[in-house]
Amino acid sequence: MRIVVIGGSGHIGTFLVPRLVRAGHDVISVTRSGGTGYASAPEWDAVTQVTADRRQQDADGTFGTTILGLDPDVVVDLVCFSLESATALVEALRGRVDHLIHCGSIWRYGPSRRLPIAEGDDDAAGAPFDEYGIQKAAIARMLHDETAAGGLVTTSLHPGHIVGPGWHPTGPLGNTDPASWHVLSSGGTLRVPGSGTETLHHVHADDVAQAFALAVEHRDAAAGEDMNIVAPTALSVRGYVEIASAWFGQAAEVESITWEEHRASTTEHLARESWGHLHRSHVFTIEKARRLLGYAPRYEPHEAILESVRWLIDHGELEVAGPLRV
């Protein structure tokens, strides 16, 4: 099939585009500035690169026309963040494209109530509380209704905290502050807002790519569905600290502090990141994706995080107190 991947050079596209090429598809990567992702792969030589400024074209009302002009059978949208943008693309593709697969987010859910959280369980989590999550939830509802009404066939996949080589993982503070890793690698005390029992649900970018490739392959099973795409298990903050500090031969400790103390000790951006992750305290089930797609994630969360940390250290992008011992 001819597949257009919008945002093909990002975290997911780095692994998805080569997967699609290996499966025999004709792949077009649409990005704002080109590029072949975070990891080199020979499959990129077979990919057609198209540059387009989505934000500007959405404002002009021309982005859907740009995508249709590439004559796709399937469109994979990895970089849509507003209901308005998603709706415009659906209206452009309706009746012209076989399948639209949208990248959502587990932040479509608010704070957890009952774990694990399953798709369609309205009581398992509260409502999303930030604009990103509100928009992702609205997009998922719109896509479901579109397909249920007999319109464009759509699927929305909702990754957890994506991690992999080339970027900083969400750490045990619920943010990407690299200073946390110096504390862990030195066996120090990490001052954590909350109780330390909050949870984080990561997923390796290649496992997310696996799910998107499976949704392409199993169109009928995926039609109109939304699915959680995460690692098989999640990490508590305390468990994260114990596992990660042990990679350096250390035994870091957790000191619980108030959210007010945390906000006073860091930047507004990092404090907001922490609140977004730890206040939600998510754990998800992937049973639906297993059943409908055959989703079989390769990485446990700590394995995915370790791969990311190792890459950052090897490339001089993370300062730690001592070497990895694993």
29 assigned to some structural domain:
yes
* Whether residue 220 sits in one domain with residue 129: yes
The CA-based diameter of the chain, rounded to the nearest angstrom, is 58
* Whether residue 25 sits in one domain with residue 127: yes
* pLDDT of 51: 96
Per-residue pLDDT tens digits for 195-229: 999 999 999 999 999 999 999 999 999 999 999 99
Q: Which domain holds residue 185?
A: 164-201+233-280+299-314
323 assigned to some structural domain:
no
Low-confidence residues of the chain, pLDDT below 50? none
* Whether residue 90 sits in one domain with residue 183: no
Per-residue pLDDT tens digits for 244-284: 999 999 999 999 999 999 999 999 999 999 999 999 999 99
* pLDDT of 33: 87
289 assigned to some structural domain:
no
| CATH number of the domain that residue 71 is part of | 3.40.50.720
* Whether residue 81 sits in one domain with residue 26: yes
117 assigned to some structural domain:
yes
* Whether residue 109 sits in one domain with residue 72: yes
* Whether residue 178 sits in one domain with residue 54: no
Closest residue by Cα to residue 325 from 271, 258, 247, 268? 247
* Whether residue 209 sits in one domain with residue 101: yes
For residues 201 and 174, give the distance between their C-alpha atoms in angstroms, rounded to a whole number.
11
319 assigned to some structural domain:
no
* pLDDT of 128: 97
* Whether residue 111 sits in one domain with residue 31: yes
For residues 200 and 275, give the distance between their C-alpha atoms in angstroms, rounded to a whole number.
12
* pLDDT of 114: 97
Given a contact cutoff of 8 angstroms between Cβ atoms, the answer to whether 229 and 295 are in contact is yes
* pLDDT of 37: 83
* Whether residue 154 sits in one domain with residue 16: yes
* pLDDT of 40: 83
- DSSP tally for the chain: helices H, then strands E: 13, 13
Separation of first and last alpha carbons in the chain: 42
322 assigned to some structural domain:
no
Report the domain count for the chain: 2
* pLDDT of 131: 97
